[in-house]
Structure 1
Amino acid sequence: MASPSHRRSLRRRRTVLVSVAAVAATGLGAAVFVMNANAGPVDLAHQTLPAKDGWAASGSGTTGGSQADSAHVFTVSTRAQLVKALGSASDSTARIIKVKGTIDANTDDAGKKLTCADYATGTGYSLAAYLKAYDPSTYGRSKLPKGTQETARAAAQTKQAKNIVFKVPANTTIVGVPGTKAGLTGGMLQIQNVDNVIVRNLAFAATEDCFPQWDPTDGDDGNWNSNYDSVTLRGATHVWADHNSFTDAAHFDSVNPKYYGREYQIHDGELDITKSSDLVTVSRNQFTNHDKTMLIGSSDSEPSGKLRVSIHHNVWKGIVQRAPLTRVGQVHIYNNYYDVTTLNAYAPLYSINSRAKAQVVAENNYWKVPSGVKVAKLLSGDGTGAIKGSGNLVNGTATDLVAAYNAANSKKLKTTVNWTPTLTAGLQTSAKNLPTELATTTGAGVLS
């Protein structure tokens, strides 16, 4: 007789994804159902990344916590429960964490709401004192802030980080319970120096830094820099981020004040992949209402051989830039839908940036571009990165985006790459139906 784990494995192999088209043909409407051919709906928590589904399927593949025993399957609905379920970041025991409802990271262990003032208490920090101490007219612009108020700011930021940063161990699946509006508000999942993690069916919102740092040396006029991404990968391998939603809501950048003439930016990235992370698949997510959205590679000097990422069937809407910004690695961007219409005052600068010798293949994506927006502005680069483009549509018309960019810019994008994608399960050869298809099959809450 087969063991329970073997039977579960057999059931997973029988899983069938019923497409929107097939469902619509039955008159049931547009939805996604994950069905088991023999036993009805499959538990999302035990699903693994399908074979050949992007870079995260390379080698051993990505299975997350699918092999967890019953003692390591948790259902959580509060911050304190999530912290307990995650345990130690160094404990690689397979675990499944089911998130039921929305968890507010800015709460204490008893569930009491915490504010920026709570994090500042006892540190000596105040924004008014900080602004007075580092006013460029008196402090200058040649060096980073140093002194009593900068020390206090860093201490307050550390207090907030201890509360809102959730460190994810290896061999973990974190999945939203269907039908519960599952997600995390105000928090960051940190996947750092671990292997084999799945994050699915979660809505991430309002990841905000109460204590941005002023950097007068950042750019010509200085900038305020914040510290938290909704999901951050740092030196992580085999990660699958699927069917999640990301947004700044309810606090959009348009309401941020300005200090020293620069926006007081409290948001960082939505999903950043840095510090030589590798073998990552980002699929069927919605990225909305954000500025610097996805960073692949944190420095132009990151070593080669890592940062292999597949990005497919995602929706990007109301995104200013970094969709994504790529460095160094081999990145496959396919079957995505980009709506570059200004949304909630988020006015797009570019979609894809290839720099620091990045090798990007961008194929069969669809851009919705309003009148007045130049096609040459959809891409960006530093003159060393490559984008091999094919099958991309702009408002339904086949368009050579790289040629348009190169015709308008002195720092040309290279048009050939040093690799050929092979892990391409689900690749659609035509982008024409993506705007309607992805509207109902991406983001948190559509999986059953």
Structure 2
Amino acid sequence: MKLLPLAALISTALLATSAANAADWPESFSKCAAQGGTCDVGAAKRQVSFGIKNKWVLKSLSGKVACTAATFGNDPYPGVDKKCAVGPLDGGTTPPTTPPTTPPTTPPAGTDPLTQAAPATGWASYSSGTRGGAAATQKDVFLVSSASQLQGVLKNTGGKPTQVKIYGTIDMAADGPFKNPADQGVRSLISLPSNTTLIGVGADAGIVNGRIMIKGVDNVIVRNLTIANPCDIAPVWDPKDTSTGNWNSRYDGLNVDQATHVWIDHNTFTDAPRTDDQFPKENGKLKQCHDGSLDIKNGADYVTVSNNVFKLHEKNTLVGSSDGTTSDDGHLTVTFHGNLYQDITGRSPRVRFGKVHVYNNYYQGDRDAKLYPHHYSIGVGYKAKIVSQHNAFDIIGAKECGDVVEASGSSGKTGAIVDSGSLLNGAALGLGGESCKFSTAVGWTLPYTPVVLDASNVRESVLRNAGAGKLSVR
């Protein structure tokens, strides 16, 4: 997917023309009522907008509709009189979007990306399974295109099944740059309730200057979004972090914390357009403003991370936050499969405690790259219990298994990993060899039956399927 220039990314993406030519409803819609009036939509469902000046929320409705914030569940422009407009007959579909730059992935017969359950090839399908907002009634299906619309919807779901469709790129700092760390902490936060599906419409749906938090909830799906990893405006220097000190930042692109039944699928996570080389050196190191792309911690369970692209990033994914969080032991059941890790320095993933299944992922990098040089891919941390199957590593400069699988922790706090069929630069990975000796006592077996490709076919499959813009969402 083509990345937008920074100037475009720091503007709010809306469903109409620029502010200079502000519209009060989407293109091809017709005004049907002023705020407080009644919009006669007719017997067939149509998209109806409520808003003004390039800010509106949409719902698929029929009959006589009150043009009020209560009807739409959100006030996109508080304090200003708004209008309602009705779209063409569409059977509940959204306004047309820019065609994807790559052909959509065809879902299994009879499935719709909005209602599809996490497939039975990962931990998210275990126990009660993961359906997100699949059971949402029509009044709980929302199309949003601005930070205010998104936050308004999420604050009012009450945990009932909800589908939130993102149209265009939502900038969480659209109302102005973050003033200080506290302001960034509040305005950047996108907190997803239980029983929610957050999904992008089209190839250009995404989030910038935001961080998605799935905390203490159950049954959440995030799909088809390009997520620009947030940049902390005030990273903190810690002279005791490593022997030479380090910059630490607060925010991840997406964080799964104490949550259960979570499916993260067909998204793209990237530092672009604000890559690390754009920042100055202080204390002898780049002033690193990014933290993780995706972290999973604090007893989270039944999580599947599938068909995503992770690129241009240093510290990618932690499973388990620290060696001291012993309550994580027996939890952190996570599957990673079909993901592309491209120009990622490390943590793909780094695991503590978790029962983690890593299969059919494709890793591409260069150990001597000027920007985001590859250090390692899979980190085997304290009490990690990793089952690895048929992953493919194409890493320039990597000569042996120890270059891609690392013991991430002290010698006294080790983990376990087993591997079958993985390839490093076209040859057998060699886990268990002289450079790559680990315990194989993972202590668990897969509770589901994955469909595992031979590692020689993984590159082609992942490059074809992974990332945002590959799902056809209406």
| Larger helix share, 1 or 2 | 1
> Cα gap change, 1:86/1:30 in structure 2, threshold over 3 Å: closer, same or farther?
closer
1:85 Cα offset (Å) = 1.3
- Structure-2 residue corresponding to 1:3: none
| Larger strand share, 1 or 2 | 2
List structure 1 segments (4+ residues) > 3 angstroms apart after TM superposition: 371-375
Q: Deviations over 1:77-134 (max 9, x none)?
A: 1111110111158x311110001111111112xxxxx224xx1xxxxxxxxxxxxxxx
How many positions carry a matched residue from both structures?
Answer: 364
* C-alpha distance in 2 between matches for 1:32 and 1:437: 11
Q: Any residues of structure 2 matched to 1:207-286 within 5 Å, and which?
A: 207-286=230-309
Which one of 157, 162, 173 corresponds to residue 106 of structure 1? 173
1:362 Cα offset (Å) = 0.8
Which one of 34, 53, 62 corresponds to residue 107 of structure 2? 34
What RMSD over aligned residues (CA atoms) do the two structures have, in Å? 1.8
Contact 1:274 1:307 in 2 (8 A): yes
> Cα gap change, 1:333/1:404 in structure 2, threshold over 3 Å: closer, same or farther?
farther
- Counterpart of 1:64, as a letter, is G
Contact 1:75 1:100 in 2 (8 A): yes
- Normalised by the size of structure 2, how large is the TM-score? 0.74
Identity %: 40
- Counterpart of 1:385, as a letter, is G
Which one of 315, 329, 348 corresponds to residue 323 of structure 1? 348
* C-alpha distance in 2 between matches for 1:396 and 1:85: 48
* C-alpha distance in 2 between matches for 1:357 and 1:347: 27
- Counterpart of 2:381, as a letter, is R
Q: Any residues of structure 2 matched to 1:355-394 within 5 Å, and which?
A: 355-371=381-397, 373-381=399-407, 382=409, 383=411, 384-394=414-424
Q: Deviations over 1:355-378 (max 9, x none)?
A: 111100111000112246544211
Q: Any residues of structure 2 matched to 1:87-106 within 5 Å, and which?
A: 87=155, 91-106=158-173
Q: Deviations over 1:288-343 (max 9, x none)?
A: 00000000000112221111101001000100010000000100000000112256
- Counterpart of 1:440, as a letter, is R
Q: Deviations over 1:34-86 (max 9, x none)?
A: 2645xxxx542111112x22111111000101111222111011111110111
1:207 Cα offset (Å) = 1.3
* C-alpha distance in 2 between matches for 1:359 and 1:83: 37
Contact 2:126 2:447 in 1 (8 A): no
> Cα gap change, 1:395/1:219 in structure 2, threshold over 3 Å: closer, same or farther?
closer
- Structure-2 residue corresponding to 1:445: 469
> Cα gap change, 1:224/1:44 in structure 2, threshold over 3 Å: closer, same or farther?
same
- SS of 2:153's partner is helix
> Cα gap change, 1:219/1:399 in structure 2, threshold over 3 Å: closer, same or farther?
closer
- Counterpart of 1:392, as a letter, is S
Q: Any residues of structure 2 matched to 1:6-405 within 5 Å, and which?
A: 32-34=105-107, 36=109, 42-50=111-119, 52-87=120-155, 91-108=158-175, 114-116=176-178, 119=179, 156-179=180-203, 181-302=204-325, 303=327, 304-341=329-366, 345-371=371-397, 373-381=399-407, 382=409, 383=411, 384-405=414-435
Structure 1 gap segments, 5+ residues each: 1-28, 109-113, 120-155, 407-411
* C-alpha distance in 2 between matches for 1:270 and 1:68: 29
> Cα gap change, 1:366/1:35 in structure 2, threshold over 3 Å: closer, same or farther?
closer
Contact 1:341 1:347 in 2 (8 A): yes
Contact 1:380 1:405 in 2 (8 A): no
- Structure-1 residue corresponding to 2:28: none
